[in-house]
C-alpha cells in the first residue's frame, strides 16, 4: 500500500488513535490531540500506511514585536520500520509548503549535532539555497523548581 501524507485538522483526532511506536516520544493523549488540532497556528502532517500513522511532522507559527511571523518545525518522526523510504522528506516538504501557504517568509528547525540522519535530510532539503547555523539548545526542567 502506498504511504499517504495528510494534514490533520480539527475533527481528525481519531487518526492519532492508531500510531506506530516510533512516531512520537510519548503516547498520544486525546485531550492534547484535540487541543493541538483546535489551535489555529499549529500544524501536523502524518504519513499513513492504511489507517496506521507511521510518521508525523508538527510545527507552528510565532512572531515577536520586532519580527514577522515565522514557522518553526517542531518535530519530525518516522517509525523505524518505515525509515529510508523518503517519508521524512515528504512530511517535511509538506510542512514547508504549508508554511509558505500561511504566508511565512521563513521556517526553521533544530536538531542535535549527533543525529546524522536528520542532518542529512535537512541538508538535502536545503538544496544549497538556505543557511545552516551552529547553535546550542538548552532544556530546562520546570517541574522541580
What is the reported pLDDT for 112?
Answer: 79
What is the distance between the alpha carbons of residues 128 and 130, in angstroms, rounded to a whole number?
A: 6
Q: Which of 70, 95, 89, 69 has the alpha carbon at shortest distance from 3?
A: 89
Q: What is the pLDDT of residues 7-56, one digit of tens each?
A: 999 999 999 999 998 889 899 999 999 999 999 999 999 999 999 999 99
Q: Give this prediction's pTM.
A: 0.88
For residues 83 and 26, the answer to whether their CB atoms sit within 8 Å is no
Amino acid at each position: 500500500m502506498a504511504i499517504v501524507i495528510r494534514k490533520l485538522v480539527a475533527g481528525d483526532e481519531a487518526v492519532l488513535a492508531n500510531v506506530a511506536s516510533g512516531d512520537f516520544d510519548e503516547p498520544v493523549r486525546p485531550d492534547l490531540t484535540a487541543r493541538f488540532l483546535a489551535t489555529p497556528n499549529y500544524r501536523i502532517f502524518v504519513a499513513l500506511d492504511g489507517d496506521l500513522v507511521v510518521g508525523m511532522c508538527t510545527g507552528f507559527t510565532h512572531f515577536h514585536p520586532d519580527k514577522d511571523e515565522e514557522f518553526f518545525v517542531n518535530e519530525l518522526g518516522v517509525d523505524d520500520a518505515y525509515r529510508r523510504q523518503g517519508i521524512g522528506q515528504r512530511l517535511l516538504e509538506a510542512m514547508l509548503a504549508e508554511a509558505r501557504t500561511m504566508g511565512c517568509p521563513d521556517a526553521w528547525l533544530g536538531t542535535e549535532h549527533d543525529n546524522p540522519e536528520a542532518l542529512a535530510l535537512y541538508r538535502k532539503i536545503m538544496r544549497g539555497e538556505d543557511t545552516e547555523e551552529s547553535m546550542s539548545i538548552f532544556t530546562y526542567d520546570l517541574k522541580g523548581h
